[in-house]
Amino acid sequence: MQCPKCHAAMHTYNRNGVQIEQCSNCRGIFLDYGELEALTRLESQWAPAAPPAPPAPQAYPAPPAPAWGAPQHGGHHGGHYGGHHRHKSFGHMLFSS
Amino acid sequence: MSPHPSLAARVRQAAHPGPDLPGCACETAVLADRPDATVVRHGPLVGKAHAPGTDPEALAARLRVAARLPGVLLPPVGTTPDRQSRPHTLWPYGTPVDPDDPDAAPWEAAGTLLARLHRTPAPPGLPPMRGPAKAADAVRRLRRTAGPGHPATGPVLAAWSTLAPWARAETPMPASALCHGDLHLGQLVRHPAPDGPWHLIDVDDLGTGVPAWDLARPAAWYACGLLPPDEWARFLGAYRSAGGPAVPPDGDPWPALDVPARALTVQTAARSVTKAVGEDRPLDEVEQALVDACARMGPVPAHPAPDPSA
B72 lies in some domain: yes
Q: What confidence category does residue B162 fall into, taking pLDDT thresholds of 50, 70 and 90?
A: very high
Whether residue B266 lies inside any domain: the answer is yes
What average pLDDT score do residues B35-56 get?
Answer: 93
Whether B88 and B110 map to the same domain: the answer is: no
ipTM of the complex as predicted:
0.89
Q: Indicate whether B208 and B243 sit together in one domain.
A: yes
Yes or no, beta carbons of B286 and A87 under 8 Å apart: yes
Band (pLDDT 50/70/90 cuts) for residue B51 is very high
- Mean per-residue pLDDT, B20-45: 86
Q: Is A1-47 assigned to CATH 3.10.20.860? A: yes
pLDDT at A54: 55
Specify whether B38 is located in the same domain as B182.
no
Residue A87 vs residue B256, higher pLDDT: B256
Determine contact, residues B44/B92, Cβ cutoff 8 Å: yes
Residues B136 and B284 placed together within one structural domain of the fold: yes
Work out the pLDDT band at A47, boundaries 50, 70, 90. Answer: low
> At B54, which CATH number?
3.30.200.20
Domain enclosing residue B48, as ranges: 5-92
Task: Tell me the CA distances in angstroms from A97 to A3, B34, B43, B62, B68, one per residue in order.
Answer: 34, 11, 26, 18, 25
Nearest Cα residue to A67 out of B115, B293, B163: B293
- Secondary structure tally for chain A: helices H, strands E: 2, 3
Nearest chain A Cα to B259, which residue?
A66
- What is the SS3 assignment for B134? helix
Residue in chain A closest to B270 (alpha carbons) equals A97
Under the banding of pLDDT at 50, 70 and 90, the label for residue B301 is confident
In CATH, what number is assigned to the domain containing residue B161? Answer: 3.90.1200.10
Tell whether B97 is covered by a domain. Answer: no
A-chain CB neighbours of B103 within 8 Å are: 86
Please report, for residues A12, B138, B158, B201, B259, the alpha-carbon distance to residue B299 in angstroms, rounded to integers and kept in the order given. 26, 21, 10, 35, 10
CA B47/CA A57 separation, integer angstroms = 48
Domain match, B87 and B174 both: no
- Asked if pLDDT for residue B42 goes beyond 90, the answer is yes
DSSP A9: B
pLDDT confidence tier of residue B195, bands split at 50, 70 and 90: very high
Q: What's the pLDDT score for residue A42? A: 67
B189 pLDDT higher than 50: yes
Write the residue in A62, A64, A81 that is nearest to B226 by C-beta.
A81
What integer pLDDT is reported at residue A6 of this predicted model? 78
Is B232–A69 a contact, with Cβ atoms under 8 angstroms apart?
Answer: no
Sheet holding A29-30, edge to edge: A10-15, A18-23, A29-30
CA B244 to each of CA A64, B101, B200, B210: distance values in angstroms, whole numbers, following the listed order: 18, 27, 16, 12
Closest CA to B199 of B304, B80, B64, B75: B75
Cβ-count burial B21-46 (b if 16+ within 10 Å, e if not): eeeeeeebeeeeeeeebbbbbbbebb
How far apart (Å, rounded) are the C-alpha atoms in residues B180 and B204? Answer: 9
* Residues linked to residue B38 through DSSP beta bridges, in sequence order: B33, B49
Q: Is residue B237 part of a domain?
A: yes
pLDDT given for residue B50 in this prediction: 95
| Residues of chain B positioned with their CB less than 8 A from the CB of A93 | 221, 226, 268, 286
Number of domains in chain B: 2
The pLDDT > 70 percentage for chain B reads 95
Q: What mean pLDDT value characterizes chain B? A: 93
Same structural domain, B76 and B158: no
Distance from the Cα of A38 to chain B's closest Cα (Å) equals 24
Mean pLDDT of chain A: 71
- Judge whether B301 lies within some domain: no
Q: Is the pLDDT of residue A55 over 60?
A: no
Verify that B110 and B235 share a domain, yes or no.
yes
